[in-house]
Every structure is written in C-alpha cells, then in structure tokens.
Structure 1
Amino acid sequence: MNGTDEDAVFLEDVTVGETISCGSVTVTEEEITDFAERFDPLAIHTDPSAAAESRYDGLIASGYHTLSLSVRLLVETVRKERAVIAGLGIDDVRWREPVRPGDTLSVTTTITDARASESDPGTGVIDESIVVTNQDGVEVLTLENHELLERRSP
C-alpha cells in the first residue's frame, strides 16, 4: 500500500481506541514442526515424543511461529489497507500460554495512540496493542506495535 491509493488508511483516518478483529487461524502439528525445524528447532517444537516428556506435556508452537501467524492476520485485515511506510518496532512481547496443535488463534488490535511526526510533517506514528487468544479466550500472546504511516496532508 502507498499513499497514492485514495482508498488507503492514512494517519488522519485512524481512530484512537478503535479495536479491530483480525480473524483467526487454526494451527496444525505439521505447521508447528515445519516452522520449528527451520527457525526454532527445540524438541518441544519439533519432536512430539520428547515434548510429551517435557513440562508442557506435549508439542507446543514456537512463540515466533505464534507471532508470525498473528502478523499475517494483521496484514491481511488492517495493514494492507494502511498507508504504512515502515514498522518502527514492537515492545512488551509476552508469550502468555503455550499454543498447541489444533488451537485456533484469534487476533485483535486496539489503536492506543496516533500522532503526527515531529521530524517529518508528512508522516505520523500509530501505536497499537495486539492480543492473541486461543479458542477458549485465553491470551497466548500480547505485544505493543508501532508503525510509521503517511499523512493525508501535512
């Protein structure tokens, strides 16, 4: 997305306090082990037998896999519509509970702040609080995200 698209969501279009549901995804055992084998090859993520003997009593998804799945839902629902210039970072990433095969994860984002940039009048920053829950409504991941957006008019 870029600012030349008249349907883009610019800084001025963002409402502080708005909460957006970003859909859900069900995690499979194969996805958990495939991701972990490539990016986080701990036995609790890659080996169901070893994981069964762990404190988790079974296979769990890598936290980075959970984070990646949530980003995908965020992009598909809200970020691809925004006039995003760049991500500025994430803070306070917390993996609250394990994600297991068969869990369905749902993502919500709440805009906590939107402000014009002091250094570049054509841009602004939004802050959002992201919460990922499982099918039982239990929080499995929380984080704070910061994005640089174009302004409709400086």
Structure 2
Amino acid sequence: MNGDDDGQTYFDDIEAGTVVSCGSTTVSEDDIVEFAEQFDPLDIHTDPEAAAASQHGGIIASGYHTLSLSVRLLVDEIRSERAVVGGLGIDDVRWHEPVRPGDTLTVENEVLDTRVSESNPETGIVHEAITVTNQDGVTVLSLENRELVERSGPD
C-alpha cells in the first residue's frame, strides 16, 4: 500500500472500502482520573465517591479521553505512515456508552470515500468512519473524519 520508496502511503494508494483494525488499549482508573484532572475535571471522571453516587455508579472516562486514545491508535496503525497534510475536521462524534476503568478499547477505521482536492489537486481528501468498541463488542464512540493527504505525483 506504500506509494513510493519513502515508506509513505499517499492519497493515490488509499482505497474506499478499506477497513483496518488499529489495535486496542486498556484504560485504568488512574489514566481516567489523570486525564480528567487536566482536561475535563468533572466529578464523574475524578471523584470516586461522587461518581459512585451518580447515575453511572462509578468513575467513567471523559469522552475526550476516549477520543484521544482512539487518535493515538489511529496514528500508530495508519496515520504515521500516511503523507498527511492535516486534518480537515471530524463530524458526527457520538459517545454511545461510558468507558469504565478496566475497559479495553479497540479502534476500527473504514475509508468511506476519497476524492482529489478541488482547491489543491496535489492532495486528496480521505473520508473515514471510526468506530471504537469495548471488550464486549459494544460501540462506545463513533465519528467520521476527513483528512488531507498528499498525492504521490502527477497523473
């Protein structure tokens, strides 16, 4: 799938319909609290007693933590090898179920479509669906992403 000898995957090498499993990560309570204390300090993420009294019955991860963990797995598996110019945006971000301490999250990436950029034909736009599930196969996060990727050369 690498377009040139430089090891990069270029836009021209990315095909719609491609599905890639991006691995898994397990979230600890310490991870959840540490992230939340810095970025989303709600009691349901940081205070075990308050979280236990909430409708969640215990600490849950910030949705932004779940999103960040997902991005890390995507970069490790796919994006670090892509000739990424930059992100164009994410749409339809949905947190379906809470992520709890001990959950193992798995990320799957599906290329929905690709098109050459109209404003810069040296690049293309990759539109992807990203789904994150827990160890029970329950979807905890879903979103769509668009990123700008360098083309390998002229047509």
CA distance in 2, matches of 1:5, 1:150: 15
CA distance in 2, matches of 1:5, 1:63: 39
For 2:12, give the aligned amino acid: E
For 2:146, give the aligned amino acid: H
For structure 2, which runs of at least 5 residues remain unmatched after alignment? none
Question: Counterpart of 2:66?
Answer: 66
Cα drift, residue 6 of structure 1: 2.3
Cα drift, residue 153 of structure 1: 1.4
After the TM superposition, which residues 27-38 of structure 1 pair with which residues of structure 2 at under 5 Å, given as runs? 27-38=27-38
Q: Matched residues, percent identical?
A: 63
- Secondary structure of the residue aligned to 2:78 is helix
Question: Counterpart of 1:90?
Answer: 90
CA distance in 2, matches of 1:5, 1:56: 51
Q: Does the aligned pair in 1 maintain the 2:66–2:99 contact within 8 Å?
A: yes
Question: Counterpart of 1:55?
Answer: 55
Could you tell which deviates more after superposition, 128-137 or 112-121?
A: 112-121
CA RMSD of aligned residues (A): 1.2
Quick one: structure 1 residues 36 and 5, their matched pair in 2 at CA, closer, same or farther if it must change by over 3 Å?
farther
CA distance in 1, matches of 2:64, 2:7: 32
CA distance in 1, matches of 2:22, 2:138: 16
Cα drift, residue 7 of structure 1: 1.7
TM-score, length-scaled by structure 1? 0.96
Residues 47-88 of structure 1, C-alpha deviations (whole Å, 9 max, x = no match):
011100000011100000000000000000000000000010
CA distance in 2, matches of 1:142, 1:38: 24
For 2:90, give the aligned amino acid: I
Question: Counterpart of 1:108?
Answer: 108
CA distance in 2, matches of 1:130, 1:113: 13
- Secondary structure of the residue aligned to 1:80 is helix
For structure 1, which runs of at least 5 residues remain unmatched after alignment? none
Question: Counterpart of 1:8?
Answer: 8
Question: Counterpart of 1:147?
Answer: 147
Residues 20-72 of structure 1, C-alpha deviations (whole Å, 9 max, x = no match):
00000000000000000000000000001110000001110000000000000
